[in-house]
Amino acid sequence: MKGPSYSATELLARLVHFDTTSDRSNLPLVRFVEDYLAQHGIASHLVPNAEGTKASLYATIGPAAVPGIALSGHTDVVPVEGQSWTSDPFVLAEREGRLYGRGAADMKGFLACVLAAVPELKKRQLAVPVHLAFSYDEEVGCIGVRPLIAEIGRRFVRPRVVIVGEPTSMSVVDAHKGPVRWHVDIHGRAAHSSMAPLGVNAISVAGKLLAELARIEQELKAAPRDERFDPPYATLQVTRIDGGTATNIVPVSCRLDFDMRALPGVDAAAIDRRIRAFADRECMAEMRRVAPEAGIDVRIANEVPPFASGSNSEAVALALYLAGQNETHAVSYATEAGLFQAAGSPAVVVGPGDIAQAHIADEWIAKDQLDKCMGFLARLGDWAERGKPVR
């Protein structure tokens, strides 16, 4: 079967034209990919969300029963609202060797390269298959890839290696931090502010928690550093606070959100336990003496595990070989690499475009980044055909 063949730039223009902002459906894009792959004789397997409004796509080129090399990327993009763009963010525009459009760097450029490489991969007699793993809702906490990963070992053979194509300027990333987001809801009791002892001031309780969070922040900063990261320690920041209703009312509620960027090895669950224990011991008893209904609800809203390839990773060795490089890097942004690795597939991050150009107005990717990625994928085809170990 000989399906159509397009350049990475042509495919990127098609992908950018689908507005796949995370709060919208990605199904039109998924159907486009499904149809394109079908024209090359490749079957797609969809893993939809509960509402049926979004789906991840998984497809295999080559022998289906053999663990292969998965090329993982997300189809969603961040919003353009509030940003001032020179041209329509959903129409790819070329200016001076740069391709402008929402998602050009993060990360439809990688998806376009993978799709452009399909005809060439399909022509080869692959000993090691290549899997396409395109997910949704990455930008809102690596949500969509989780049900897809849950199918590994069931519908899908466990990939031998996962290459996550987030923008790294085609350098090989073997570690990243993991974001953890907490919501805390403090429920006190309202009272006239002149009768303060009858109430439980939720903002005052928040103040105690803020002090504890500041102590944890300092401890994380003082812990052994990993100089490969910038900054070289885990950060913890209170990022939102909201409470109170009027100047003369003891506030009944206060909500605060905080965000940690964990280094590999930092135990988010232990920090969660510590905050809960502090809330119980230092706040709750006193609150309940006045108001039995008072409470503090602490919950992790989203957690993406940090990623560390570990030494001797086949994924890293393969990526270095394919990229023609000999050194690896660590980054502070998160990807699904840690999730795949936790599911038993060694992972690595390497993809076209610069993270500095992601998420901003006039997001762009350099055309030569797409060329580099196409070279990487061509070498992957060579290697997968021979099927020799990397080391």
Q: Is 138 a catalytic residue?
A: yes
Q: Which residues contact 119 (CB under 8 A, 6 or more apart)?
A: 2, 3, 5, 40
Nearest CA to 133 out of 9, 30, 254, 263 is that of 30
C-alpha span between 381 and 112 (Å, rounded):
16
Instruction: Kindly state the smallest distance separating residue 26's Cβ from Zn ion, in Å.
Output: 14
Size of the site for Zn ion (CB under 5 A): 3
Residues 93, 100: contact at Cβ < 8 Å?
Answer: yes
C-alpha span between 364 and 374 (Å, rounded):
18
Pattern 333-352, binding to Zn ion, x per CB under 5 A? --------------------
Nearest CA to 343 out of 169, 178, 162, 185 is that of 162
Residues 196, 212: contact at Cβ < 8 Å?
Answer: no
Q: Which residues contact 238 (CB under 8 A, 6 or more apart)?
A: 210, 213, 256, 257, 258
Interface with Zn ion includes 76 (CB under 5 A)? no
Interface with Zn ion includes 107 (CB under 5 A)? yes
Nearer residue to Zn ion within complex by CB, 137 or 217: 137
Q: Which residues contact 27 (CB under 8 A, 6 or more apart)?
A: 53, 54, 55
Nearer residue to Zn ion within complex by CB, 223 or 356: 356
Nearer residue to Zn ion within complex by CB, 113 or 184: 113
Binding segment (CB under 5 A) for Zn ion, from list 41-49, 102-110, 189-197, 234-242 = 102-110
Q: Contact with Zn ion (CB under 5 A): which of 76, 106, 336, 362?
A: 106
Q: Determine the residue with CB nearest Zn ion.
A: 106
Nearest CA to 262 out of 304, 302, 227 is that of 304
Instruction: Kindly state the smallest distance separating residue 192's Cβ from Zn ion, in Å.
Output: 50
Nearer residue to Zn ion within complex by CB, 61 or 99: 99
Residue 229, helix vs strand vs coil: coil
The helix-helix angle for 367-386 and 314-323 (nearest 10°) equals 120
Interface with Zn ion includes 355 (CB under 5 A)? no
Catalytic residue among 34, 76, 137, 336: 76
Nearer residue to Zn ion within complex by CB, 250 or 355: 355
Binding segment (CB under 5 A) for Zn ion, from list 46-54, 101-109, 271-279, 310-318 = 101-109
Pattern 150-189, binding to Zn ion, x per CB under 5 A? ----------------x-----------------------
Residues 348, 319: contact at Cβ < 8 Å?
Answer: yes
The helix-helix angle for 8-17 and 109-123 (nearest 10°) equals 130
Instruction: Kindly state the smallest distance separating residue 78's Cβ from Zn ion, in Å.
Output: 8
Instruction: Kindly state the smallest distance separating residue 166's Cβ from Zn ion, in Å.
Output: 5
Question: Which residue bears the tokens 């006193």?
Answer: 286
Q: Alpha carbon 82 to chain centroid distance? A: 22
Nearer residue to Zn ion within complex by CB, 166 or 303: 166
C-alpha span between 284 and 292 (Å, rounded):
10
Catalytic residue among 34, 137, 138, 166: 138
Instruction: Kindly state the smallest distance separating residue 165's Cβ from Zn ion, in Å.
Output: 9
C-alpha span between 53 and 349 (Å, rounded):
28
- Between the alpha carbon of residue 248 and those of residues 142, 168, 255, the distances in Å are 43, 53, 19
Nearer residue to Zn ion within complex by CB, 274 or 329: 329
Residue 26, helix vs strand vs coil: coil
Instruction: Kindly state the smallest distance separating residue 110's Cβ from Zn ion, in Å.
Output: 9
Nearer residue to Zn ion within complex by CB, 106 or 226: 106
Q: Is 354 a catalytic residue?
A: no
Residues noted as catalytic:
76, 138
Under the rule (CB under 5 A), what is the footprint of Zn ion?
106-107, 166
